[in-house]
């Protein structure tokens, strides 16, 4: 008969072997099976059952070893979260283990699977209804499962050595299960990310609109990370030219700080940011890009990226500009119309009230122009009006507004002008109109009236009436 040190040494050696086998399990399923196999093969128990604690607190039998009948009866069964509470209330506490002797079980129907073995009269013999449990905990003390063992190989209730070995094994098993569970979660996340990346790549590469990812954080912030074929087609650049370059180098800011403001709005917003920006193509031409930008996280401790989607909206922007031009300009001459003149006048009046400086509105009427239409026809008259409009634009100062009011009436709005500058402006306007028109021998001349734009001016219509009246007085004076 072996002495206690020899027994202990043999048991420790077996514990070491089964623990090494258990730790080699890579997935959670492999680890759980290694735990129950280790109990049966190395710790001297005939049956081992492992209940894994689920996220909702219930217990499910995941692994069984030692008995095909027990495996068939128990594997996959799910129990309530408090399944062990009643038994633990009557159990003996063996360190970290819980032993429930059969004699303390209440009379009635037995729950679970019971091995079909003879019952011994020896009070220290193992009874088929005896139960020994080892709670399995993570490194943080969280209960991750419950290991139950049955049928010791010597058919007796475990002594101190076997209890100690089972408790040590249960501690290691809890840590191994926790590690395997984390490994499974990481593998599942890896699979999810790979599937997500595959889906993203298919969408990214196959999209009809341009798509690009831009570094949003870190030293590479603002640099292009990835572009699809549509982005290259729209912008005219190759992938090699775009990747690694700064996106801001291709954008035209309408005013200083535009890009910085848009990034601030993007960061503060909750959803995709919509933008329209001028982009310098590879051929040197500017196009309008319209699209969305969204900040995308890549996981914990990973830098964020900016995902942008673009389309070439140059045709729409040109159409909008043309519509805006027609809404604010005379269709025949291309000069400002009354609507745009009103807008410019409001700005001049506001600045005059702030600075106290005065401006002038000149009302210009063409003399003898009716004879042009009568003699040469309205088509020639239209050509003559366009020529006069071009001459007026050349005669005024930079920043002055020339408008056609209708028919043969024009207006010039000049800001911050008086004295000799005003006299010179009037002379240039008169000289530009009084010159003979191309292919027309009718002597068309100009009559001008002026009205002062001061901080006390009421509105444009009043100013036009004043200038018109002054023009009429000048015309009458010229006739006399």
- Active-site residues: which are they? 408
Neighbouring CB atoms inside 10 A of 94's CB total 18
Task: Using only the alpha carbons of the chain, give its radius of gyration.
Answer: 46
Longest dimension (CA), the chain: 150
Q: Which pair of tokens denotes residue 104?
A: 């303390």
CB-side exposure of 227: number of CA atoms within 13 Å? Answer: 23
Rounded Cα–Cα distance for residues 368 and 446 (Å): 9
Backbone angles phi, psi at 64, to 5 degrees: -140, 140
Give the 3-state secondary structure of residue 333.
Answer: coil
Give the 3-state secondary structure of residue 271.
Answer: coil
Rounded Cα–Cα distance for residues 480 and 476 (Å): 6
Rounded Cα–Cα distance for residues 52 and 67 (Å): 19
Of 466, 424, 472, 469, nearest to 447 (Cα)?
472
Q: Which residue spans within 30-142 are E strands per DSSP?
A: 45-53, 59-65, 78-79, 92-94, 97-100, 131-137
Of 105, 113, 114, nearest to 86 (Cα)?
105
Q: Which pair of tokens denotes residue 101?
A: 């002797």
Backbone angles phi, psi at 76, to 5 degrees: 90, -5
Rounded Cα–Cα distance for residues 387 and 379 (Å): 13
Rounded Cα–Cα distance for residues 177 and 173 (Å): 6
């Amino acid at each position: 008969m072996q002495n206690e040190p020899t027994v202990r040494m043999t048991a420790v050696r077996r514990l070491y072997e089964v623990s090494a086998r258990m730790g080699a399990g890579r997935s959670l399923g492999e680890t759980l099976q290694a735990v129950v196999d280790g109990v049966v093969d190395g710790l001297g128990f005939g049956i081992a059952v492992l209940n894994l604690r689920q996220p909702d607190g219930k217990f499910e039998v995941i692994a069984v070893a030692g008995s095909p009948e027990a495996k068939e009866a128990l594997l996959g069964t799910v129990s309530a979260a408090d399944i062990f509470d009643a038994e633990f209330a009557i159990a003996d506490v063996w360190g970290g283990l819980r032993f429930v002797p059969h004699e303390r079980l209440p009379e009635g129907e037995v729950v679970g699977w019971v091995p079909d073995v003879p019952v011994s009269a020896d009070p220290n013999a193992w009874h088929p209804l005896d139960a020994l449990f080892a709670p399995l905990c993570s490194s943080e003390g969280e209960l991750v499962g419950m290991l139950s063992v049955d049928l010791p190989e010597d058919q007796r209730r475990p002594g101190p050595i076997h209890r100690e070995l089972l408790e040590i094994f249960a501690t290691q098993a809890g840590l191994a299960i926790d590690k395997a569970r984390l490994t499974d979660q990481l593998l599942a996340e890896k699979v999810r990310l790979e599937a997500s990346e595959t889906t993203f790549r298919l969408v990214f590469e196959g999209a009809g609109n341009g798509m690009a990812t831009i570094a949003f954080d870190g030293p590479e912030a603002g640099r292009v990370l990835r572009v699809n074929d549509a982005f290259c087609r729209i912008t005219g650049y190759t992938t090699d030219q775009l990747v690694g370059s700064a996106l801001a180098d291709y954008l035209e800011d309408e005013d200083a700080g535009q890009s910085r403001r848009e990034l601030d709005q993007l960061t503060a917003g909750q959803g995709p940011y919509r933008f329209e920006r001028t982009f310098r193509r590879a051929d040197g031409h500017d196009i309008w890009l319209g699209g969305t930008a969204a900040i995308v996280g890549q996981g914990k401790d990973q830098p964020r990226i900016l995902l942008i989607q673009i389309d070439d909206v140059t045709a729409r922007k040109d159409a909008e500009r043309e519509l805006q031009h027609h809404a604010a300009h005379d269709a025949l001459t291309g000069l400002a119309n009354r609507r745009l003149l009103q807008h410019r006048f409001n700005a001049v009046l506001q600045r005059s009230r702030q600075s106290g400086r005065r401006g002038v509105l000149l009302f210009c009427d063409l003399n003898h122009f009716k004879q042009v239409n009568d003699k040469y026809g309205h088509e020639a008259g239209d050509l003559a009006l366009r020529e006069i409009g071009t001459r007026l634009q050349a005669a005024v100062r930079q920043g002055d507004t020339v408008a056609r009011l209708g028919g043969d009436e024009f207006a010039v709005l000049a800001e911050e002008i008086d004295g000799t500058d005003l006299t010179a402006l009037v002379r240039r306007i008169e000289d530009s109109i009084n010159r003979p028109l191309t292919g027309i021998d009718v002597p068309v001349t100009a009559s001008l009236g002026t009205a002062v734009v001061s901080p006390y001016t009421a509105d444009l219509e009043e100013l036009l009436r004043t200038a018109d009246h002054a023009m009429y007085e000048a015309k009458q004076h010229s006739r006399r």
